[in-house]
Structure 1
Amino acid sequence: MRLVSFNILNGRTLHDDTVDVRVLADAVRSLDPDVLALQEVDRNQQRSGRADLTAVAAEAMGAPHHRFVAALAGSPGATWTAATGREQPEDAAYGIALLSRFEVAGW
């Protein structure tokens, strides 16, 4: 089993500081994880093209089981607030994610 932890820096590339979901997907594929823990994950943020970066990574690694948990809700520099757990999938958020190719018994 291959376990990987990856700080994705909001999906930004190191060479030009922009978000390209194809680069993120390629990076995840190259890691070939069975279980992947992600940090600094954007969901529906303008700076990352409103992408769901957890879903991008899940598709890239073939992980049918994944969860995103928001640490902050809103957008950077505008409406950041502590996440409450009541955020909706369409809400802009920033947090962590766990993805698995294997069935998960409980979250």
Structure 2
Amino acid sequence: MDELVQAQLSAITEVLRAANTLGIEVWLRGGWAMDFYLGQVTRNHEDVDWFVWQDDLPVISGLLVSRVWLISRTTHATSSVTLFGMRSSLALHHWLEAIAVR
């Protein structure tokens, strides 16, 4: 398994641990979500994409930053946050509660 794949799998584990620590829900999305569904890595991935509830976005971002991740950018009035660390990048996108009922 190549170095980037290992780093991204470690990053996925880190996000899941952070979410578990905080008691919040996160959903893997994009190419990595499809690979987990298929049970194999099908291609190289540029980043790891997640959905998180809108109110939880700053909470999980803050915890990840405290664990040495760096915020690269926020977009659309903080509707998403891109973080870098562990030789990979994470894109956290909020899920509006107005369009999705918990």
TM-score normalized with structure 1 length: 0.29
More helix by share: 2
TM-score normalized with structure 2 length: 0.30
